[in-house]
Structure 1
Amino acid sequence: MSFQYLKPRGSTRFKDRYTTKADENLTKFETGDTGEIGMIGLPSSKSSISFSMAAEAPSSIRSALGSFSTYSGDKDEDYADMKLLDYGDVAVHPTSLEETLHRLQVSVSEMLETRACERYVVLGGDHGISYPSISAFHKHYGRIGVIQWDAHHDLRNLEDGGRTNGTPFRSLLESGVLQGSNLVQVGIRDFSNAKAYADYAKEQGIHVYTMADVDKTGLNDIITAEIERLSKEVDMIYLSVDMDAVDQAFAPGCPAVGPGGFTSRELLNSISVAASKPKVKAMDIVEIDPSKDVRDITSRLAAHVMLRFMYQS
């Protein structure tokens, strides 16, 4: 029997014949597939030093893609035919953080080994996922440069809590995956870090730009100059976008919200600038807790960050 109006569960969304939504670009990866972008979800948030349900973010960001079309009015170009290969989400271990980190690194490595595309989006999760993810890219590509949008240094010591969402970049530095001079931190916010970690950043040669520096120099100029510098030193550049770099007014769904951060426009414009550079191959988006969000504001902003990375390069 056929039904006139009943559709499969979840498929009753209005469809305009002339409009393609960004989530329609999602294609479940199958062996042999090729596409422009590869995407993987790392739904881990048990390493967060504050209560967080960031493990739910990969699902909420995918859903938020349905809020936007594939057409860029600024560029007068429609990306409806772009294929976004979705590798799915990693099954994290229920109790062992070390096993979870291992699974995340293995899964990102397996995605890269398919060689199905040239550019990648990694959806966290808390910022702890950047340690295994960047480690996998380092193993695959070689010398790696990182631009980190963040209110915090994420250089905490490991003695007080092990590997947490506050330690990924210290872990990367101490494991030799990343050189200090190849790490750029933008958006470091006042009254949000300890002096010991600011001093550690200087000792390691990390290029740190506070919000005061951003106000003085301009975010896009900083990103342009640093990518030009890094491009001469590394084999690929990885963007790590901690959404708490954005002011709490524009990203209320972060575990560590605070005032004085980027506006949504500043973030999006800077991602467009970075994504246009040929050595920029990957991006992670972290630190969204959908349970704390308001009308999916933060997840929608993250989805728009994805669009800028995917479509504006």
Structure 2
Amino acid sequence: MPIYKTTNPDRYAGRISGQKRYLHEKVECIGFDGLVHNSSNKIFAILGYACDEGVRRNQGRIGAIHGPDAIREQLGKMANHLDDGTQLFDLGSVQCTDGNMEASQDYLSNKVGELLATNAFPILLGGGHDIAYGHFNGIKKHLGPKKSIGIINFDAHFDLRDNLKGNNSGTPFYQISQDCKQEGLPFNYLCLGIRQDANDCGLFETAEVLGVDYIEAKNFHMANAQTIVHKLLDFIGQVDHLYVTIDLDGFSSAYASGVSAPSPMGFSPTVVVESLELIINSGKMVSLDIAEMNPKYDSDTQTAKLAASLVHFVAHRV
């Protein structure tokens, strides 16, 4: 199987208006050879990461390999409020069908760099959270070592497990931290929604050693909005650019059952949307991904709808 595949336009369907009132009428499914640099129009570029090999290695529930298409199917049905000059492209999916996750991450990294070089805003759809390692490397290669990148991760897990026994969906930010250390670069990482029951004491110790900032799930809610705002503003002020990653398993399973590691003790969509609004308004956000969409366990496509709504929100605010 090829490591890259374009998207079948039939993945996007919905009501027919004839006036591009729905996103399936707006999105264009193209290959990378059809993407050219454009400095005048706003461009959003959807790219899938059809891989759950990292989840399998991390002993999670596989099925996220089908996540990108599940999100696309729900996104196409949603109303389009983008202006005529804004372009929405779907560039297909990086695939992993042979267990070689590292090759897929490398390929993803190169493709993210290509998207950023054309002045597009990448929106990546996963797939396991190992998407983050390839995604971050693509951003880093494009921006170069002189620009600092802050990672904001909405997640129940630090994903800071060491990779002594190999890479998986629980190691991406540890891998990034070690790369930054070797290259003499700062590791700027903020986690929102961390659960004590989902991270052992060793992971909290690793977070402390690496200087990771975080807000625990018990404090990540709208009643604590002022503290969250201060934390975000402080973090945003320390970096040049922001890479935002949303792990759907951070949400309560009441909102997101279709994930690799569900729990009823997660956060709500409201606090994430309000946080995203602040992040977007900073003008520093350069890329987004949504990870761990697992349609195999999704109830009434609720998780896919949540993911699509987050994509819709960001595309209409950036």
TM-score by length of 2: 0.84
> 1:239 and 2:244 equivalent?
yes
> What corresponds to 2:258 in structure 1?
253
C-alpha change, 1:10 and 1:132, in structure 2 (3 Å) is: closer
1:39–1:251 distance in 2 versus 1, CA, 3 Å: same
**Partners of 2:159 and 2:150 in 1: CA distance:** 16
How far does residue 12 in structure 1 lie from its aligned partner after superposition? 8.2
Per-residue CA deviations over 1:118-156 (Å, capped at 9, x if unaligned) read x22111110011011101101212321011000011011
Check 1:11–1:80 CA distance in 2 against 1; reply closer, same or farther (3 A cut).
Answer: same
2:212 aligned with 1:212: no
Give the superposition deviation at 1:92.
Answer: 3.0
Which of 54, 65, 83 does residue 47 from structure 1 map onto? 54
Following superposition, the deviation at residue 190 of structure 1 comes to 3.0
Structure 1: how far apart are the matches of 2:12 and 2:285? 35
* CA deviation after TM superposition for structure 1 residue 235, in Å: 2.3
User: 1:31-64: per-residue Cα shift (whole Å, max 9, x none)?
Assistant: 4364421221111111112131111111111111
Do structure 1's residue 95 and structure 2's residue 102 form an aligned pair? Answer: no
Bigger CA drift: 52-61 or 262-271? 262-271
Cα displacement string for residues 253-310 of structure 1 (whole angstroms, at most 9, x for unaligned residues): 0110002211222223322332222001111100010111011100110011011111
Deviation at 1:191, TM superposition (A): 0.9
Write the distance in 1 (CA, Å) between the matches of 2:287 and 2:20. 28
Partners of 1:193 and 1:12 lie apart in 2 by 40
Specify the alignment match of 1:36 in structure 2.
43
**Whole-angstrom CA distance in 1 between matches of 2:123 and 2:11:** 25
Match of 1:229 in 2: 234
Aligned length: 295
CA distance 1:295–1:33, shift in 2 (3 Å):
farther
**Aligned twin of 1:163:** 167
1:221 deviation in Å? 4.9
| Residue 122 (structure 1) aligns with | 124
CA contact (8 A) 1:38 1:86 kept: yes
What per-residue deviation string (whole Å, max 9, x for no partner) do you get for residues 186-208 of structure 1? Answer: 00013111100001101111111
User: What letter matches 1:154 in structure 2?
Assistant: D
Larger displacement relative to structure 2 (62-71 or 128-137): 62-71
User: Which of these two proteins has the greater Rg computed from alpha carbons?
Assistant: 1
Aligned-residue offset at 1:173? 0.2
Structure 2 distance, partners of 1:248, 1:189, is 14
Preserved CA contact (<8 Å) 1:147 1:240: yes
| Structure 2: runs of 5+ lacking an equivalent | 1-8
1:280 to 279, 285, 291: 285
Structure 2: which amino acid aligns with 1:60?
A: A
Measure the CA separation in 2 of the matches of 1:268 and 1:213: 16
- Cα shift at 1:109: 2.0
C-alpha distance 252-216 of structure 1, shift in aligned 2 (>3 A): closer
Shifted more, 126-135 versus 265-274: the winner is: 265-274
Q: 1:13 to 1:167 in 2, by over 3 A?
A: closer
Instruction: Give, in whole Å, the separation in 2 of the partners of 1:41 and 1:9.
Output: 16
Q: 1:47–1:128: 8 Å Cα contact kept in structure 2?
A: yes
Q: 1:169 to 1:163 in 2, by over 3 A?
A: same
The yes-or-no answer on 1:203 pairing with 2:204 is no
Aligned equivalents of 2:186, 2:214: Cα separation in 1:
14
Query: Could you say what the CA RMSD is over the residues aligned between the two structures, in angstroms?
Result: 2.5
Match of 1:104 among 101, 108, 111: 108
2:311 & 2:119 partners in 1: Cα distance? Answer: 19
Q: Structure 2: how far apart are the matches of 1:287 and 1:88? A: 18
1:79 deviates by 4.2
**Structure 1 residues 265 and 163, CA, compared in 2 at 3 Å: closer, same or farther?**
same
Map 1:13-32; keep pairs closer than 5 Å.
13-16=14-17, 20-29=21-30, 30-32=34-36
1:132 maps to which residue?
Answer: 134
Contact 1:62 1:303 in 2 (8 A): yes
**What secondary structure sits across from 2:92 in the alignment?**
strand
Q: What corresponds to 1:4 in structure 2?
A: none
Distance in 2 between residues matched to 1:309 and 1:11, nearest whole Å: 19
Q: How far off is 1:10 after superposition?
A: 8.1
> What is the deviation of 1:66?
2.4
Instruction: Quickly say closer, same or farther: Cα 1:133–1:301, change in 2 above 3 A.
Output: same
In the TM superposition, residue 86 of structure 1 has moved relative to its aligned partner by: 1.8
Q: Over residues 82-141 of structure 1, what are the superposed CA-to-partner deviations in whole Å (9 max), with x where a residue is unaligned?
A: 31122211143513232222222222222223x242x22111110011011101101212
Q: In the alignment, residue 204 of structure 2 is paired with which amino acid?
A: A
